[in-house]
Structure formats: structure tokens, C-alpha cells
């Protein structure tokens, strides 16, 4: 597991890998000498850029939700305490 | 505002992880994560928590707060409460959100405000947002023609003024129309309503871009250009952002231009004192 995380981090950070015009992911894996440590399926998922499959192969639970904002802030019945603030928020967004 | 005389030892720092695992974490955010007693995380892939654990093993995922069918508003309240409970236990708490922790994120703002009200130190560290990646990947400059951002459902439900000579960026188009806040994606009929509103201002074949930044270095960037009408049946998900290019040319404000010219003439005219 740690080797895959290291791999993802290295590919993301190291400028020599983040340039599209350089080596393909297959070549990059070879350069990093990681091919022996990864299963063929893992390597294929990496090469295909298939994050979902890679998560499955590593038994990592996928993200349920990436949404962390109320679509319509301040629409719910405001509590007495935060009423003025909520109203300010509404007048700001409308 | 933080009370600098606060003696309470609990604290809250909301940090941004950026969009791509590993690539976008600022040195100060990393340091906060390293030194935290506890980290609550809301990542954009399952790998985020595993990665965070390589920096500090005490990571708790906020994902458990979500459930299909449960209002996200309730989930956000739970998240805020989780953060505040740990702060009240006098812990150094870090809340790590993907992207920028304050961009289209409710619990971070709420928790920081409340922690400060209760006299704890609380602040936000900026991160690289989806919009930052969009600017870089699509080669668009918000300063060139102007740039307006809206949350898609809010845009649909309220009357907004649209400036068609600027870029229009709509966030959360994958869940557009879900005012119950209980769905993780909505159907083409919801997207058709968004198109209906937009076609009051733009032609049906007006070009739009559907954008998705890579979350992992192995993923590809999505920059799909299509006519507006095709959005109805386009593939979208929770991380799709829509960009609508300007439809009209900038219109000169004649009155202001004249006033500016007048000011400029006055500035350049020789001052009385300099005339001998
Ligand atoms: C709740 S907001 C969170 C934004 C995040 N805090 C940031 O700083 O980018 C979720 C919305 O951000 C946008 N978003 C999230 N991930 C994205 C990605 N990988 N590419 C493009 N836009 C993304 C989408 O509009 C999505 O619906």
C-alpha cells in the first residue's frame, strides 16, 4: 500500500514525471523500479489511470461524497440566535 | 476573530489539500497536519486518508457523516460538531478538506466561527481549488473579461443577473437541482432545467466546457467542449465544473469613459501655480 501512495506522490511532485511529453506511465513505473512490487493488475490500473479500480484492488473504500457546501445557504428556518447573520448571508447571496 | 488572550489550549486549523494528492499541499498546511493531535479529513479520493496517515497516523474520515438519502445539511452539522467537540477536548485539531478549505465548503467556515466565539484559536490555511486548476488547465484568465461563479442549484433557484460578456463558472452541476440535499447525482431532467435558464441568455449551441481536474497523478484532465444543449445528456459527476465562455462583447460605458477622459485631461493640464 505505502509503495503505491509513494508512487502517486512521486508522480505528482517530481517535475520530471509531471510533464506529459516525457515518458508514458509504463516507462515511469519502470524508471521508478516499482514493477516488481506491484501486481500486474495494479500496474494495469495505474497505466490506465483507473483510480476506482486501483482503490478496489487495494481494498480502499471509495469516497461517498465530494460535496461539502449547502447548495442554498440560509434557506432553512434560522435559529433565533443566528437570525441576523443568516439574513445577512441571504442578502449577500441573493 | 481570534482572541489573542485566549488561554484555551484547543485549536482548529482548516487546511486545503489541493486537488491532486501530493502535489498541492503547502508547507504550512503540511506542518499543521504533522503537529495536530487529530486530523479530520474530507478528501476527493479514497487514497487521501491513506496518504494523510503517512504524515500523521491520527486521521478520522468525515465521510462517515454522509449517507445517501440523509440531508447533507445534517451531515455538515455533524462534521462541524465533530470538529468542535475535539477542540473543546483541548486538542489541536486540523480539518483537511480537498481543494481550498473555504471554497464551496460550509463546515469549515461554520466551525471556525463557532470555535472563535467560544474563545479557541481557529483559522484557515488556503489551498489550491478546482478553480485554480481550471485556470491553469484551460488557459483562462479571470481578469481578462471578468468571471462570475455560482453554485448551480442556487443559480437555478434564484434570479441572478448574468453578465454574458464575462465567463460564467457553475459549480456542483452534477447535483444541480437537488434542493433536498439528499442526492449524490441528479438526472438529465434536472440538467435540462439548468439549460432552460441558461438559454434565456445564451444560444443553445453556445460553447461550454465541462472540466475535471485530475485527483491523482495517473488521471487525465477532462476538458470537454460542447454546445450548451448537449449538457443535458453529458456525463457529469460530483466533481464536474462547467465554464460558459462569454457570448457578447464588452460594451463601452460611454458616460464613465467620458468622465475618465475628463479627469485625465485635468491631470495633464498645466497647474495654475506652474504658469509664470
Ligand atoms: C463542494 S465543492 C468543493 C470545492 C473545493 N473545496 C475546491 O476548493 O475546489 C465541490 C465542487 O467543486 C468542483 N470540483 C470538485 N472536484 C473537482 C475536480 N476534480 N475538477 C473540477 N471541479 C471540481 C465541482 O464543481 C464540485 O461539484
Q: What is the 3-state secondary structure (H, E, C) of chain A?
A: CHHHHHHHHHHHHCHHHHCCCCCCHHHHHHHCCCCCCCCHHHHHHHHCCCHHHHHHHCCCCCCCCCCECCCCCCCCCCCCCCHHHHHHHHHHHC
- How many structural domains are present in chain A? 1
Longest dimension (CA), chain A: 63
Least confident interval from B128-142, B182-196, B201-215: B182-196
What domains are defined for chain B? 11-128 (3.40.1010.10), 131-244 (3.30.950.10)
Mean pLDDT value of segment A13-19: 77
Mean pLDDT value of segment B212-237: 96
- Choose the closest CB to A66 out of B76, B157, B239: B239
Residue nearest atom 19 of ligand 1, based on CA coordinates: B213
Q: Pick the residue with more confidence: B101 or B4?
A: B101
Say yes or no for a CB contact (<8 Å) between A71 and B238.
no
Closest C-alpha among B83, B123, B102 to residue B1: B123
Q: Give percent above pLDDT 90 in chain B.
A: 84
Instruction: For residue A28, give its domain range.
Output: 2-57
| Residue A52: inside a domain | yes
| Residue A6: inside a domain | yes
* Residues of B recognised as catalytic: 72, 76, 98
Say yes or no for a CB contact (<8 Å) between B98 and A11.
no
**Distance between Cα B240 and ligand 1 center (Å):** 7
Say yes or no for a CB contact (<8 Å) between A68 and B104.
yes
Residue pLDDT, tens place only, B257-271: 999 999 999 988 887
The pLDDT of residue A88: 45
pTM listed for this prediction: 0.89
Amino acid at each position: 500500500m505505502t509503495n503505491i501512495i509513494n508512487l502517486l506522490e512521486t508522480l505528482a511532485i517530481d517535475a520530471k514525471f509531471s510533464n506529459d511529453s516525457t515518458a508514458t506511465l509504463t516507462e515511469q513505473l519502470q524508471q521508478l523500479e516499482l514493477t516488481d512490487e506491484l501486481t500486474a493488475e495494479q500496474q494495469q490500473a495505474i497505466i490506465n489511470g483507473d483510480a476506482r479500480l486501483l482503490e478496489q484492488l487495494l481494498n480502499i473504500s471509495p469516497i461517498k461524497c465530494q460535496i461539502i457546501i449547502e447548495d442554498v445557504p440560509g434557506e432553512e428556518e434560522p435559529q433565533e440566535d443566528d437570525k441576523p447573520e443568516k439574513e445577512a448571508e441571504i442578502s449577500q447571496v441573493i | 476573530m481570534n482572541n489573542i488572550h485566549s488561554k484555551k489550549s484547543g485549536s482548529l486549523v482548516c487546511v486545503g489539500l489541493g486537488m491532486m494528492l501530493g502535489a498541492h499541499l503547502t508547507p504550512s498546511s503540511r506542518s499543521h497536519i504533522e503537529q495536530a493531535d487529530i486530523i479530520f479529513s474530507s478528501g476527493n479520493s479514497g487514497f487521501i486518508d491513506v496518504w494523510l496517515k503517512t504524515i500523521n497516523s491520527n486521521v478520522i474520515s468525515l465521510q462517515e457523516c454522509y449517507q445517501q438519502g440523509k440531508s447533507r445539511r445534517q451531515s455538515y452539522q455533524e462534521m462541524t460538531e465533530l470538529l468542535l467537540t475535539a477542540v473543546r477536548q483541548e486538542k489541536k485539531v486540523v480539518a483537511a478538506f480537498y481543494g481550498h478549505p473555504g471554497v464551496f465548503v460550509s463546515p469549515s467556515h461554520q466551525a471556525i466561527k463557532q470555535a472563535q466565539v467560544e474563545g479557541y484559536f481557529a483559522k484557515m490555511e488556503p489551498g489550491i481549488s478546482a478553480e485554480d486548476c481550471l485556470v491553469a488547465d484551460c488557459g483562462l484568465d479571470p481578469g481578462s473579461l471578468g468571471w462570475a461563479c455560482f453554485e448551480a442549484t442556487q443559480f437555478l433557484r434564484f434570479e441572478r443577473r448574468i453578465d454574458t460578456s464575462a465567463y460564467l463558472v457553475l459549480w456542483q452541476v452534477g447535483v444541480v437541482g437537488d434542493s433536498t440535499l439528499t442526492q449524490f447525482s441528479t438526472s438529465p431532467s434536472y440538467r435540462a432545467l439548468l439549460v432552460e435558464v441558461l438559454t434565456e441568455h445564451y444560444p443553445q449551441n453556445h460553447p461550454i466546457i465541462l472540466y475535471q481536474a485530475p485527483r491523482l497523478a495517473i488521471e487525465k484532465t477532462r476538458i470537454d467542449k460542447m454546445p450548451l444543449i448537449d449538457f443535458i445528456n453529458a456525463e457529469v459527476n460530483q466533481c464536474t465544473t462547467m465554464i460558459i465562455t462569454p457570448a457578447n462583447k464588452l460594451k463601452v460605458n460611454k458616460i464613465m469613459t467620458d468622465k475618465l477622459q475628463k479627469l485625465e485631461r485635468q491631470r495633464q493640464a498645466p497647474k495654475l501655480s506652474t504658469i509664470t
